[in-house]
Amino acid sequence: MGQISVTLNGRAYRLECGEGEEAHLLKLAEYLGTHLEAMRGKFGQVGDDRLILMASLVVVDELWDLRRQVEDMKTVLAETRRDKSTSDESTKSTQSDLAARISAAADRLELLNEQFAAAGVASPAKRRQS
């Protein structure tokens, strides 16, 4: 088990953490420390507990806002996926319709070609080749 020592508002605290988590915990304490300093600069020395509480509330407010943003992003992502799915279905339908029209046009051309051949007339395509 890891152990670190952090200083907040001039007081040292020893903390235990999981092995390998020391650096992360130190960064968290440093981040909270910057908020503590801002609170102390704004309100003066109003006591360790009160300063730590105020700084913690600021950090939790940031967290709350980020959680709301993540939820908003999840909603937008779900809507985007739904829109993409609808768009994909529409594209498939359009491609299928286009393929059917091309096939029908090819069938008509083939029929016309057969009719020209039966009448002994060269098709327009063959006349252009000669």
pLDDT band at 33 (very low <50, low <70, confident <90, very high): very high
Considering the chain, what is the average pLDDT of its residues? 90
| CA distance linking residue 23 with residue 25, whole number of Å | 6
Residue 124's pLDDT is 62
Tell me whether residue 130 is in a domain. no
Number of domains forming the structure of the chain: 1
How large a percentage of the chain has pLDDT more than 90? 64
Tell me whether residue 124 is in a domain. no
| DSSP letter assigned to residue 9 | T
Tell me whether residue 123 is in a domain. no
Tell me whether residue 20 is in a domain. yes
Residue 121's pLDDT is 73
The parent domain of residue 84 ranges over: 2-117
How large a percentage of the chain has pLDDT more than 70? 93
Q: Which tens digits make up the pLDDT trace of 42-74? A: 988 888 889 999 999 999 999 999 999 999 999
Tell me whether residue 6 is in a domain. yes
Tell me whether residue 66 is in a domain. yes
Tell me whether residue 128 is in a domain. no
Residue 122's pLDDT is 67
DSSP for 62-74 reads HHHHHHHHHHHHH
Tell me whether residue 28 is in a domain. yes
